[in-house]
Amino acid sequence: MKKVITYGTFDLLHQGHVNLLKRAKELGDYLIVGVTSDSFDKGRGKLNVRNNVIERIEAVRQTGYADEIIIEDYLGQKIDDIQRYDVDVFAIGSDWEGKFDYLNEFCQVVYLPRTEGISSTMLREESSGVVKIGVVGTGRIARRFVPETYVVSGIKVSAVYNPEKGQSEDFAREFNLQSYSAGFSDFLNEVDAVYIASPHLTHYEYAKQALYAGKHVLCEIPFMLSASQAKELYEYAEDNNLVLLEASKTAFCPSFNHLVTLVKSGIIGEVVDVQASLSKMVESPTRELDATQAGGAMNEHAPLTLMAVIKILGIDYTKVSFRSKVKDGADIYTKVVLDYPHATSSVTLGIGVKTEGNLIISGTKGYVYVPAPWWLTSFFEVRYEDQTKNKKYFYSYDGEGLRYEIQEFTSMIVNNRRGSYKLSKKESLAIAEIIEKYNNRESYIEI
């Protein structure tokens, strides 16, 4: 019996896929189809796959060509499969011409003609169009954001806004965008959504204007410096069927998501303490150390660290208190203690004080250790008294890591989803509330 194997994502299964499967089947007697797992596709930068793995497997099954369907979950698996299933022919579409020649060592490799004029990407774009997003602000994070959108299908940066004409034009030239500096409403007319990466104190106004103009908003951290402003905008977005998402990048990273689900599944028992720290030294004069521009360790670093605490312990804390070391009006170091009915937590934040940048979640059975920089989580370890039970988890943290929040934002727009379980409105509001309490100097001690 001649065995053939082929692989694919088979998203929004179309005639091109059907032709390919038919041709592959004709090469032998028995066809094995490897359908990529959702995590494998994420890992190789296919971030906007519409159908989940179950739907994609079902679609392949319904073509009637597959004698057996397997899941492709890791790089290098093709070599294992070919040997394990004693495969004679590996077949794949001609868009991969030459890319799988290394499999010749294990079986015959055949590149089959690709069907022209149809692709999953085309279908995805046709079904929902491409979200045109405008960037507000031209600083470091905005500069990192634009290239990250290139790997997410279904979204395209088309315009940039900065009231400083020169800066807007430079940015526009660098990334081939439409530049706006005078009219914010002209800029809004050009786009479907905005990414706000402007100075902290401008977030609320820009977000509000964008929402009022009917645009979806992805807003950098610190999202809003007041809970009432955040609440007002979330309510407006909800009433007007718009997406408003806090760009807390780590909240959307696969590794962090997995960490949260593992902890919530009880692998370290009952969680008793979460300690998250983050320090980044900056040199004065800079906006980050300027109290009049909402600088300081708390405003800069609390959003990500509090997000981690809240994702693990929830929003129902019983008490919050703050300790800060202040220089020229801005906190260069702040420690926040957040108590819960049966647990405690702390976040330590430095901007003019250097401290560790790890995340430790302690439980009654063990603890999770995420080394610095935990917010770019690509590795963590679950540790126990009996060290033979320790387990290390590794992930790929691709690019600048902004692609995950961009993917979530795009998916919310396209799939008409207005909330994200990865960072819910309630969680985002709780973070804004704690930051506001700090800025109002509630339960605050200067050291």
**Beta carbon of residue 17, minimum distance to ligand C2G (angstroms, whole number):** 5
Interacting residues with ligand C2G between 368 and 407 (CB under 6 A): none
Choose between 17 and 383: whose C-beta lies nearer to ligand C2G.
17
To ligand C2G, the closest distance from the beta carbon of 225 in angstroms equals 43
List 22, 114, 143, 418, residue binding ligand C2G (CB under 6 A): 114
Among residues 24 and 414, whose Cβ is nearest to ligand C2G? 24
Q: Which of 5, 33, 53, 72 binds ligand C2G (CB under 6 A)?
A: 72
Detail the DSSP E strand segments found in 309-409: 319-327, 330-340, 343-350, 359-363, 366-370, 379-384, 391-394
Distance CA 320, CA 437 (A): 9
Return the closest-CA partner of residue 323 out of 288, 355, 293.
355
* Selected binder of ligand C2G within 63, 108, 115, 424 (CB under 6 A): 115
SS3 401: coil
* Nearest-approach distance from CB 5 to ligand C2G, in angstroms: 11
Task: Choose which of 28, 93, 154, 350 interacts with ligand C2G (CB under 6 A).
Answer: 93
d(Cα 289, Cα 330) in Å, to the nearest integer? 6
d(CA 174, CA 145): 13
CA distance 230 to 144: 25
Length of the chain: 447
Per-residue contact track with ligand C2G, 134 to 173, x per CB under 6 A? ----------------------------------------
Per-residue binding letters, 7-46, with ligand C2G (x by CB under 6 A)? xxxxx----xx--x---------------x----------
Q: Is 340 helix (H, G, I), strand (E, B) or coil?
A: strand
Answer for which of 68, 80, 95, 101 binds ligand C2G (CB under 6 A) is 95
According to CB under 6 A, which residues from 116 to 135 bind ligand C2G?
A: 118-120
How many residues form the binding site for ligand C2G (CB under 6 A)?
A: 19
For ligand C2G, give the closer residue by CB, 36 or 153: 36
Cis peptide bond upstream of 373, omega within 30: yes
63 binds ligand C2G (CB under 6 A): no
CB 87 within 8 A of CB 107: yes
Determine the Cα–Cα distance for residues 355 and 366; give it in Å rounded to an integer.
24
Nearest residue by C-beta to ligand C2G? 93
Segments in 162-247 forming alpha helices (H): 165-175, 184-190, 203-212, 227-239
Q: Which of 4, 12, 27, 92 binds ligand C2G (CB under 6 A)?
A: 92
First-to-last alpha carbon distance for the chain, in angstroms, is 78
Which residues of the shown chain bind ligand C2G in the complex (CB under 6 A)? 7-11, 16-17, 20, 36, 72, 92-93, 95-96, 114-115, 118-120
